A and B are shown apart, each in its own frame.
Chain A
Amino acid sequence: MSVSERTLAPDTRRASNFRPTAETLAMLREKARFVRLETIRLIEVAKVGHYSSVFSAAEIFAALYYDVMDITKGAPRRPDRDRFLMGKGHAAVGLFPILAELGYIDRETLDNYTRLGNPLGDHPDMRKVPGIDFSSGSIGHALSAGLGMALGGRMQGRAFNVFVMLGDGEMQEGQVWEAAISAAHHKASNLVAIVDRNGFQLDGAVDDVMGIEPLDEKWRAFGWDVHTVDGHDLDALTTLLRQVKADEARTRPCCIIARTLKGKGVSYMETEPGWHLGYLDPSDAARAVEEIMTRTI
């Protein structure tokens, strides 16, 4: 983990004060496992889906929804809740099971993912799905929407934080940088971007398709606090998110670059970027499930 500690206020710099307990860590690992397993189960219903895009983000989902974010079971619209947006909306299949666990959507709805008239599709839809704080699907919009929420919260004296998960391919979209320059200018310190730096997009490696490095320097140059973390190390990731959230003296928006592995958790996906989108025959899905069940990330 490379945390830019100088950007954290003195009372939040000591990571050891924010580390999750062994018990919490074990719980979060189970939740990340749950996200991967449910993703495989739901994509079997749809017969096509974004496995590896979810797998790179499973620990991020788990840390946010089961530890860091201030949310309430059964109350998806509480005005003071923390917000979560996903620029990489195609990973929504990994979020829907969490929303079901939180009581925002019912089990039957979840089980009928993508079936005719169901609110749950490949991309998240705030009009149809309680708990989705903003719709997405067109890459590059989410940070602007999150900025609007952050400014709206501040204008009304509400203390919530806005977490925006962005894909690394998404960094190629111009609107991301419009939002980045704007958030820094307006000192949107309640806005946290998390880049799922899994290294791949549809056409290949991000660095081959359209290189985005040096990413940390870009965000820093745009006026953001920047931290880099192993996005699968739940201990480090949760600690960092807790530190950032606790740092109420922050004056700048914060970008966390989460180094991740596309397809993390299923070995044959980790070496094949084509699994961005695909379908697993039940026999292959069983192998994936077995691996997810037996591996500890």
Chain B
Amino acid sequence: MTRPANRPLSPNSWQYRELNAKTPGLSHLSDALISLAEAGEPVVAGSADLQYSNGLNTFAARYPDRYIQFGISEQNMVTAAAGLATTGLKPYVATFASFLGLLCCEQIRMDVAYCAQPVRLIGHHTGISLGFYGTSHHATEDIATMRAIADLTVVSPADGPQLAAAIKASADYPEPIYFRIGRGREPDVYPLDTPFTFGKAIEHLVGEEITIIACGMTVHPALEAARTLNAQGHSVGVIDMPTIKPLDRAAILAAAARSKVLMSVEEHNVLGGLGSAIAEVLTDEGAGVRLVRHGIHDEYSLIAPPTHLYAHYRLDAAGIAEVARGAMGLRKAA
């Protein structure tokens, strides 16, 4: 079979290096780092053969002398980032969350957190957002591992603008941070340049029947679910909890005081994640309110495209609404 040599490819075709153009939400990380660098912050970025997946290729093109390609050596990258930080630089290193939160767990503990080096770890494509790439690429344990590490802040932004704001706010943050972020396709919850404060919950809706406390990509569908339920006459509150550690305990206790039920939503195992962290606060304080933990129930995800998985695991708006109805003691709407 002969092929015309220069026949243009269909606009539907794309290849890896065109991911940025195809996924505008990927630009937030690089854009925020570029703005920090422009402001004179001594930032340095590193990636482990995934610069087109996390968008750091844009930063690399702009600041080639402040970018380090580590190749497929994630553990080396994390420890080297700690070494870079000792010289006064502010390293931001990124790879898939499954690799950072599990493969590099010990390097993060020993070399970043224990050594108190202000490294920023960016775990992208977290949760089950890599869909049919399978369990090796899913991160449903990273909140659990990272929040058990002393002196490490854990942040799970809801969308690109919140990620950008958190990255900018991180310039002066003294502790190391683990950022747990999605795949850059999450619908925006926040407008650009919404200020970000570490350790502060963001209350979107106040509800008396139930308050949903969500983080990461589940914030947007949780809001959608609450609006649907509220339109049906319910009183459903929603809190975005972007900082999982240190946790905004006051916000949780306030929600516990005014809502009959609390419900956590996370793209993570229900063991050890946001729901567990909330449960710890409630038991510490004897809050005596029921908490329904919604997420991945201690299993390895099926294989499917991400949106199919979100529907299957009831992490989309319809699914979250259904679980919330159950939590409120209501039967599923017809």
Show the binding face of A for B, using Cβ within 8 Å. Answer: 79, 126-127, 133-135, 137-138, 141, 144-153, 155-156, 158, 174-175, 178-179, 181-182, 185-186
The A interface, classified by DSSP as helix, strand, loop or mixed, is helix
Q: When the two chains form their complex, are residues B110 and A135 in contact, meaning their CB atoms are under 8 A apart?
A: yes
Chain B residue nearest to A127 in the complex (CB): B116
A175 to B83, CA, bound (A): 15
Number of interface residues of B (CB under 8 A): 31
Q: When the two chains form their complex, are residues B86 and A149 in contact, meaning their CB atoms are under 8 A apart?
A: yes
A144 to B76, CA, bound (A): 5
Given contacts A127-B115, A135-B115, contact A175 B79 (CB under 8 A): yes
Which of chain B's residues 88-114 have a Cβ closer than 8 Å to chain A?
88-89, 91, 106-107, 110-111, 114
A186 to B65, CA, bound (A): 12
Q: When the two chains form their complex, are residues B111 and A141 in contact, meaning their CB atoms are under 8 A apart?
A: yes
* 20 more A-B residue pairs beyond the given contacts A148-B91, A152-B85, A152-B86, with a C-beta to C-beta distance below 8 A: A133-B86, A141-B79, A141-B107, A141-B111, A144-B79, A144-B83, A145-B79, A145-B83, A145-B86, A148-B87, A149-B86, A150-B83, A155-B66, A156-B87, A156-B88, A175-B75, A175-B76, A178-B73, A179-B80, A182-B71
A243 to B86, CA, bound (A): 27
Q: Does B82 contact A (CB under 8 A)?
A: yes
A178 to B68, CA, bound (A): 14
Q: When the two chains form their complex, are residues A151 and B84 in contact, meaning their CB atoms are under 8 A apart?
A: yes
The B interface, classified by DSSP as helix, strand, loop or mixed, is helix
The listed residue (A138, A149, A156, A185) touching B110 by CB distance below 8 A is: A138
Residues from chain A with Cβ under 8 Å of B68 in the complex: 151, 186
Q: When the two chains form their complex, are residues A151 and B71 in contact, meaning their CB atoms are under 8 A apart?
A: no
A155 to B114, CA, bound (A): 25
Q: When the two chains form their complex, are residues A134 and B86 in contact, meaning their CB atoms are under 8 A apart?
A: yes
Q: When the two chains form their complex, are residues B87 and A179 in contact, meaning their CB atoms are under 8 A apart?
A: no
Q: Does B70 contact A (CB under 8 A)?
A: yes
A253 to B293, CA, bound (A): 51
Given contacts A126-B115, A144-B80, A175-B76, contact A149 B71 (CB under 8 A): no
Q: When the two chains form their complex, are residues A148 and B114 in contact, meaning their CB atoms are under 8 A apart?
A: no
A sample of 25 inter-chain contacts (CB < 8 A) reads: A79-B88, A134-B86, A137-B110, A144-B79, A145-B79, A145-B86, A147-B76, A148-B80, A148-B81, A148-B82, A148-B83, A148-B86, A152-B84, A152-B86, A155-B44, A155-B65, A155-B89, A156-B89, A175-B76, A178-B73, A178-B75, A182-B71, A182-B73, A182-B80, A186-B68
